[in-house]
A and B are shown apart, each in its own frame.
Chain A
Amino acid sequence: MPLSSKHLLGMHGVPAEDLNMILDTATTFREVLERPIKKVPTLKGKTIVNLFFENSTRTRISFELAQKRLSADTINFSTSTSSTKKGETFKDTVKNIEAMKVDMIVVRHESAGVPSYLTKISDANIINAGDGRHEHPTQALLDIYSIREKLGKIAGLKVCIVGDIAHSRVALSNIYALKTLGAEVSVCGPATMIPFGMEKLGVKIIHNIDQAIAENDVLNVLRIQLERKAGTTIPSLREYHNYFGVTAERLEKNNKDILILHPGPINRGVELSSEVADGPYQIILDQVTNGVAVRMSVLYLLGTMN
């Protein structure tokens, strides 16, 4: 059974069967990553372009490694959006790259909707590696894979996403996919970081970190953007840490069985204390390893569809 779409634009509307197929296939690739020779010939002859219009070392490296492990030919195109704004349009850039005959495009862009726009101007398989504050589907998949690996299931689990939900693409993708797989999802953060109408997505809203820790099986703690204009969403990083930061003390007090995820990079002393970032509750580096396996799975399933 192939996936129901030739693109991975987001987690919204993706059926549970597709999610499970991606996760199950990732398990196979996870094993490949433990072998001495970590390479399979699956996508030999396929050309994949990583189009990164926004800085992202980690996601790009993870995708690139996944592509290399699958024996695909990969090209990296990284630029800041400001330079393309001045010169060539996005469409012209894509048309030029496509003229070189590529099979798949992995795209990261600061504007929501760019992956869907790409499907209209290119025939390649499109994989969203993060678009604005919209979606980051492979991050959600690797988060869910990591939870499943540790706790054995998703259905019935209580998962809380903590932090700046309004400016996060990770949050939306996690909410959609977790709900499809039967988890109970909540978000925790200051009111200014919760976007309009969030509760209508069937998500509980919590403004107290102790409550969030006590009520949930998993916390997925988001990075607080240090560059966020001070004073408009939160008074200061210090106040954020004091009232919403996840600390060892809080975990000990409220829930000793909790699992902590973080998509990275971590701001130590802001959303996580160092004790938590290095401590027994977290699976942050497992997420990174699993990220390669999950991306291999997505690339394989989409790349072998036609």
Chain B
Amino acid sequence: MKIILKDIRLLNPEQDLDKTADLLIEDGVISKIGNLEAADLNNAEVFEYENTVVVPGLFDMHVHLREPGREDEETIKSGSNAAAAGGFTSIACMPNTKPAIDSAEFVNSIIMKSANHLVEVLPVAAITPAREGDGLAPIAELVEAGAIAFSDDEKAVKNASVLRAALEYTNMYGKTVIEHCEDSDLSEGVMNESLVSTMLGLPSKPTISEEIVVMRDIALAEYTGGKLHIAHVSSKRSVELVREAKARGVNITAEVTPHHFSLTDEAVKTFDTNYRVNPPLRGKEDVEAILEGLKDGTIDCIASDHSPRAIEEKDVEFIYAADGMVGLETSLGLALSELVHKSVLDLAKLTELMAINPRKVLGLPVPKIEVGAKAELTVLDPDAVWTVDVKKFKSKSKNSPFDKKLLTGKSVAVINRGKMFTEDGFKDI
């Protein structure tokens, strides 16, 4: 099969590439860039997307699929479909399934189940058995099975000596420890601690409950030399801590979610449980610090923390509601609307945050836009105006506070593993 993307902007800051040309893909491999001849057009399907941009396939490094355990909320397949619809060609899935991904068999099974899908699913394995924080999971075996990184996500590793060991042990294999930084003793609440929580009378999680663990983890990363990645940074001081640690040469990276740069805790005043998320939505000055961190490179990646929840877990009293929101299908639209169109950063920088850096954090190669390379690409229409409609989500769960929101910018096609996804669905190319 041959497809041609006609007269399209090719953007990959990693290759210093930014030019407009025709792109010929044959059997899933980039076979020609520009100078197409008449013969190239034979039997080729030609896509003429106006004002679009081809970038290396987007990568979401923080996704919760609910298989095994809560297949009613999300499966590997439905989550992969949602990823493709959101513009992602690869995702890393978190191990807090039921049971947790803490054995080679589970890692294998996820990789096998997703092998024939356009979207590559890379399992993050648990740091500790059953994510209980007590001793190390079989890390070498998990690496061999294909675990891409390690995390007890949804909670931090409480015992500092276990985290120290994890940083040392994973570093032998060049793998990253992803920490959900939260001191559970300090964070018995359901929203950010602020004037808003005081006015709403809701129990709250202060920013210090995150920062105190960021501090500890940086100290351990600095001491061990291990690779530490801070998941969903939400507070101003956390951004500063990461910036300071990077300046000292600590082996540390960080991500932020679209909801933490586009919403504040003021949204909770509606008591809409779709705004209940962990870490909680923070204050205006935290959002400003995050935007600054995205600009100056303190924050390496944008990741959705896609957390599917069933209706009965969300359509309940606020203090009983589950945390989390789905994000795969709004992540790119929010990033383009809130960052690119508001001139926080440009499209090249966004490509680094959503395609290049996540792979670098995990030690993976970045797809290239060059002749001979396997085509792993996302086609963006940065100016397309659209309205979020949760009913159209590929995700099995609809818990998004962005329903009905007008966004500017989306993905029109993704290409990977010899397959293409467009609004018409999947097809082999």
Interface residues in chain A, defined as those with a beta carbon under 8 Å from any beta carbon in chain B: 12, 85, 89-91, 109-114, 116-117, 131-135, 169, 172, 195-198, 200-201
Once the chains bind, are A132 and B315 in contact (CB under 8 Å)?
no
User: Complex formed: what's the CA distance from A135 to B271 in Å?
Assistant: 14
Which 8 pairs, one residue from A and one from B, show the smallest C-beta to C-beta distance?
A: A134-B201, A113-B271, A133-B201, A197-B195, A111-B317, A111-B319, A195-B198, A112-B201
Once the chains bind, are B201 and A172 in contact (CB under 8 Å)?
yes
Once the chains bind, are A113 and B200 in contact (CB under 8 Å)?
yes
Once the chains bind, are B315 and A91 in contact (CB under 8 Å)?
yes
The interface residues of chain A lying within 8 Å CB-to-CB of B318 are 111-114, 117
Interface residues in chain B, defined as those with a beta carbon under 8 Å from any beta carbon in chain A: 193-195, 197-204, 206, 271, 312, 315-320
Once the chains bind, are B201 and A169 in contact (CB under 8 Å)?
yes
The interface residues of chain A lying within 8 Å CB-to-CB of B198 are 195-198, 201
Once the chains bind, are B312 and A89 in contact (CB under 8 Å)?
yes
Given A113-B317, A131-B201, A132-B201, residue A196 in contact with residue B193 (CB < 8 A): yes
Once the chains bind, are A196 and B199 in contact (CB under 8 Å)?
no
User: Complex formed: what's the CA distance from A301 to B415 in Å?
Assistant: 63
Most chain A CB neighbours (cut-off 10 Å) among B198, B202, B316, B317 = B317
24 contacts across the A-B interface (CB closer than 8 A): A89-B312, A90-B316, A91-B316, A109-B317, A110-B319, A111-B320, A112-B202, A112-B271, A113-B317, A113-B318, A132-B201, A132-B319, A133-B202, A134-B200, A134-B201, A169-B201, A172-B201, A195-B197, A196-B194, A196-B197, A196-B198, A197-B194, A201-B195, A201-B198
Once the chains bind, are A117 and B201 in contact (CB under 8 Å)?
no
Once the chains bind, are A200 and B202 in contact (CB under 8 Å)?
no
The interface residues of chain A lying within 8 Å CB-to-CB of B204 are 196
The interface residues of chain B lying within 8 Å CB-to-CB of A131 are 201
User: Complex formed: what's the CA distance from A138 to B195 in Å?
Assistant: 23
The interface residues of chain A lying within 8 Å CB-to-CB of B195 are 196-197, 200-201
**What's the nearest-Cβ distance from chain A to residue B282, in Å?**
13
Q: Looking at the complex, which one of A114, A196, A200 makes contact with B317 (CB distance below 8 Å)? A: A114
User: Complex formed: what's the CA distance from A113 to B202 in Å?
Assistant: 9
* A-B contact number at CB 8 A: 63
List 10 additional A-B contacts (Cβ < 8 Å) besides A113-B200, A196-B194, A197-B194. A91-B316, A109-B317, A111-B318, A112-B318, A114-B318, A132-B201, A134-B202, A135-B201, A169-B201, A201-B199
User: Complex formed: what's the CA distance from A114 to B315 in Å?
Assistant: 11
Q: Looking at the complex, which one of B193, B206, B315 makes contact with A89 (CB distance below 8 Å)? A: B315
The interface residues of chain B lying within 8 Å CB-to-CB of A169 are 201
**What's the nearest-Cβ distance from chain B to residue A130, in Å?**
10
Once the chains bind, are A112 and B200 in contact (CB under 8 Å)?
yes
User: Complex formed: what's the CA distance from A89 to B322 in Å?
Assistant: 14
User: Complex formed: what's the CA distance from A12 to B318 in Å?
Assistant: 19
Most chain A CB neighbours (cut-off 10 Å) among B197, B200, B204, B320 = B200
- Nearest A residue to B319 via CB reads A111
**What's the nearest-Cβ distance from chain B to residue A180, in Å?**
15
User: Complex formed: what's the CA distance from A193 to B201 in Å?
Assistant: 13
The interface residues of chain A lying within 8 Å CB-to-CB of B200 are 112-113, 134
User: Complex formed: what's the CA distance from A172 to B316 in Å?
Assistant: 24
- Nearest B residue to A110 via CB reads B319
- Nearest B residue to A114 via CB reads B317
**What's the nearest-Cβ distance from chain B to residue A226, in Å?**
20
- Nearest A residue to B203 via CB reads A133
The interface residues of chain B lying within 8 Å CB-to-CB of A116 are 271
Once the chains bind, are B315 and A85 in contact (CB under 8 Å)?
no
Most chain B CB neighbours (cut-off 10 Å) among A89, A109, A135 = A89
**What's the nearest-Cβ distance from chain A to residue B243, in Å?**
26
**What's the nearest-Cβ distance from chain B to residue A174, in Å?**
13
The interface residues of chain A lying within 8 Å CB-to-CB of B203 are 133
User: Complex formed: what's the CA distance from A89 to B315 in Å?
Assistant: 9
User: Complex formed: what's the CA distance from A172 to B197 in Å?
Assistant: 12
The interface residues of chain B lying within 8 Å CB-to-CB of A113 are 200, 202, 271, 317-318
The interface residues of chain B lying within 8 Å CB-to-CB of A133 are 201-203
The interface residues of chain B lying within 8 Å CB-to-CB of A172 are 199, 201
The interface residues of chain A lying within 8 Å CB-to-CB of B319 are 110-112, 132
The interface residues of chain B lying within 8 Å CB-to-CB of A12 are 199
User: Complex formed: what's the CA distance from A111 to B203 in Å?
Assistant: 10
The interface residues of chain A lying within 8 Å CB-to-CB of B194 are 196-197
User: Complex formed: what's the CA distance from A180 to B200 in Å?
Assistant: 18
User: Complex formed: what's the CA distance from A165 to B312 in Å?
Assistant: 33
- Nearest B residue to A168 via CB reads B201
- Nearest A residue to B271 via CB reads A113
User: Complex formed: what's the CA distance from A85 to B318 in Å?
Assistant: 13
Once the chains bind, are A117 and B312 in contact (CB under 8 Å)?
no
**What's the nearest-Cβ distance from chain A to residue B185, in Å?**
10
Most chain A CB neighbours (cut-off 10 Å) among B197, B198, B315, B316 = B198
Once the chains bind, are B316 and A89 in contact (CB under 8 Å)?
yes
**What's the nearest-Cβ distance from chain A to residue B323, in Å?**
15
Most chain B CB neighbours (cut-off 10 Å) among A109, A111, A117, A172 = A111
User: Complex formed: what's the CA distance from A151 to B194 in Å?
Assistant: 35
Once the chains bind, are B197 and A132 in contact (CB under 8 Å)?
no
User: Complex formed: what's the CA distance from A117 to B200 in Å?
Assistant: 13
**What's the nearest-Cβ distance from chain A to residue B2, in Å?**
53
The interface residues of chain A lying within 8 Å CB-to-CB of B320 are 85, 111
Q: Looking at the complex, which one of B193, B202, B271 makes contact with A117 (CB distance below 8 Å)? A: B271
User: Complex formed: what's the CA distance from A18 to B151 in Å?
Assistant: 54
